[in-house]
Structure 1
Amino acid sequence: MTNKKMTNEDFKYISKFPSLLASRADKKKLKFHLLNQIKAVFGDKFHNLKQGSQDAFEEMCFLSVNRGFFFAKDSHFAEKHNVGKSTINRNLKTLCDERVLVKKYRTSRKQNGFGNVVYFFVDHPYFEYWKEYFEFDEMSNVDSHGNSDDDDNPPESKSESPKLDSNMNLPIHLKESFNNKQDIKIANCVIEIVKKARENGTIINYLDEYINKVMISLQKKAQYELRKYEKAIMKQTKMSERMNRKPVLGDLNLFKGIIEGNLV
């Protein structure tokens, strides 16, 4: 596990990351999916919580829909929903202990310790990307050492709770994105293409349609590269047979993964 703080450059990068969903209906569906993960932790007790606490949870989910994280302080939720800061902090700790959320401390502008906290939803589709980017630990919470600028947000201990599995139907372009490492590489490739397009000023009105176009383009390129690769293997095989030695076939998983529609 890494205990490195989130730099200002990291924070700017994730804050400008492309939104996952375009339509209001999809955003609403994902928000309630994340909220259901919270409700599952509290069980029947959730409905016994103050309305302010329930509203704070819903806002956390709303803020996390686009990119999978939120960074509003506990004081923000407390003041807006008329709930004590200690209650908000206690609820956040519970969600971290149950691995609904993992947290990453930002650098502090006041001292060399830990600054404000960014909370990531484990069950958000983008979490696999953030986990790889920040090198989150598989089973433990992150940044479990150090001090925060906010005294009501002390670092918590590690949690040994298993990672929650997502049962949500993701958008078609990411439906199978996170089943294995090979799929993650392909998904990250698509994410980077969309990100660079937006940075270059491309206007994307319908994200689903744009990503589908990217996937079609990747599939065509993969098919072309696969044909070239297979021809090279055939040529190498013939030469190897002549020289009475086995060919080195290499790895076709990336091309086959795209062509077979692992993301579609």
Structure 2
Amino acid sequence: MKTVFVETSQFNQMISYKPYAATRTEKKKVKYSLLERIKDKIGDRWSLFKEGTRQTFDMICFFGAELGFFYAGDDYLAARHKISTKTIRNRFKELEELGQVIKVYRRAKRSNGRGKPIYLFVNHEYFNYWVDLLGLNLNDFHTDFQTENIEIPSGSKEEGQKKVPTYSLPKKQESNINNSDTNKIVQYVVNRVKDTIDKGTTVKYLSSYINKIVSSLEKQAIYAENHRLNAKKKQLQEELSTNAMNLLGIQKRKPVPLYNWLEQ
């Protein structure tokens, strides 16, 4: 199976994207939708899993509710639910084989090789966005994809309306825009306007929609840059704190969260 890398710039785009499920109620609805699909695929064997394994599935679905992916480490999940890392890896491999997730890797900064894995939920509404952003070829993943669209948590779309939007998240373009790219951008805007008109809003002209989307992109860019700077500042503070503790011979203890994920 081909190894797919997620570059730092792409990962920053992914984590700064507007959450699909924002409120507590929406997150619970999407979480249970993802979890039920997993349980359906696993079938009767679900009842044979250890409680810690079932809790792990619950947690990753909760993590994936907002943006459609999770990247929690095997060690953390194993320690949190008192199961082995081997069990975690086997269960996640099974999710891949069942066509529920696909695995990509963050690129390791030091070795330029595989970093931590990221699992994309196939049945999340944002899956097609990440496929487009990362330039994924689904033929590279040896699984049987049978995607089903999750309903919009807010219930804003009418019953029977197409769930997958006719547009996709545009890829970041580093080179100059050519004629082919221009045609794609124009079609993207046209499709967005059609979607907007179908929803019954007042946006009916390309010019007005372009003004709105440019303003939105500017806000997203500012948010992403602020997020990057804050993350860099936090990382620097953690490194300074760790170095200071090492010099003083102090071992940092990681508290175990007491939050009950099963009640989400």
TM-score under structure 1 length normalisation? 0.60
Shift of 1:215: 4.2
How far the C-alpha of 1:8 sits from its partner, in A, is: 1.0
What is the Cα deviation at residue 177 of structure 1? Answer: 5.6
- 1:31 to 2:13 alignment: no
Q: Is residue 55 of structure 1 aligned with residue 55 of structure 2?
A: yes
Letter of the 1:114 counterpart: R
Structure 1 match to 2:145: 162
CA contact (8 A) 1:178 1:184 kept: no
Change (3 A) 1:177 1:68: farther
Distance 2:8 2:48 in 1: 39
CA 1:174–1:110: 2 relative to 1, 3 Å = farther
Q: Secondary structure at the match of 1:58?
A: helix
Mark the CA change 1:24 to 1:114 in structure 2 (over 3 Å): closer, same or farther: same
Following superposition of structure 1 onto structure 2, how do residues 1-264 of structure 1 map, counting pairs within 5 Å? 3-141=3-141, 158-159=142-143, 161-166=144-149, 168-171=150-153, 172-173=155-156, 176=161, 178-179=163-164, 183-185=165-167, 188=169, 215=196, 219-222=201-204, 224=205
Structure 1 residue 40 displacement after superposition: 1.5
* Corresponding residue SS for 1:22: coil
Pairwise CA distance, 1:94: 0.5
- The residue type equivalent to 2:75 in the other structure is S
CA distance in 2, matches of 1:108, 1:174: 41
Query: Could you say what secondary structure the match of 1:106 adopts?
Result: strand
Percent of residue pairs identical: 26
Q: Which residue does the alignment assign to 1:244? A: none
CA distances 1:18-45 after superposition (whole Å, capped 9, x unpaired): 1112332221111001001111221011
- CA displacement at 1:219 relative to structure 2: 4.5
Distance change in 2, residues 1:225/1:93 (3 Å) = closer
Go from structure 1 to structure 2 and tell me whether the alpha carbon gap of 1:36 and 1:111 turns closer, same or farther (over 3 Å shift). same
Q: Which residue of 1 aligns with 2:175?
A: none
Cα deviations by residue, 1:16-71 (Å, 9 ceiling, x for unpaired): 11111233222111100100111122101111100000000000001011100000
Gaps of 5+ in 1: 142-157, 190-213, 227-264
129-138 vs 38-47, greater mean Cα deviation = 129-138
What displacement does 1:225 show? Answer: 5.2
Give me the CA root mean square deviation. 2.8
Are the aligned partners of 1:52 and 1:82 in contact in 2 as well (CA < 8 Å)?
yes
Distance 1:82 1:174, change over 3 A: farther
| Residue segments in structure 2 that go unaligned for 5+ positions in a row | 171-194, 208-264
Q: What secondary structure does 1:102 align onto?
A: strand
Give the greater-gyration-radius structure (CA). 1
Q: 1:34·1:124 contact (CA, 8 Å) conserved in 2?
A: yes
- Letter matched to residue 43 of structure 1: G
Once residues 164 and 140 of structure 1 are traced to their aligned partners in structure 2, the CA distance between those partners, rounded to angstroms, is: 17
- TM-score in terms of structure 2 length: 0.60
Give the direction of change, closer, same or farther, for the CA distance of 1:31–1:104 in structure 2 (3 Å limit).
Answer: same
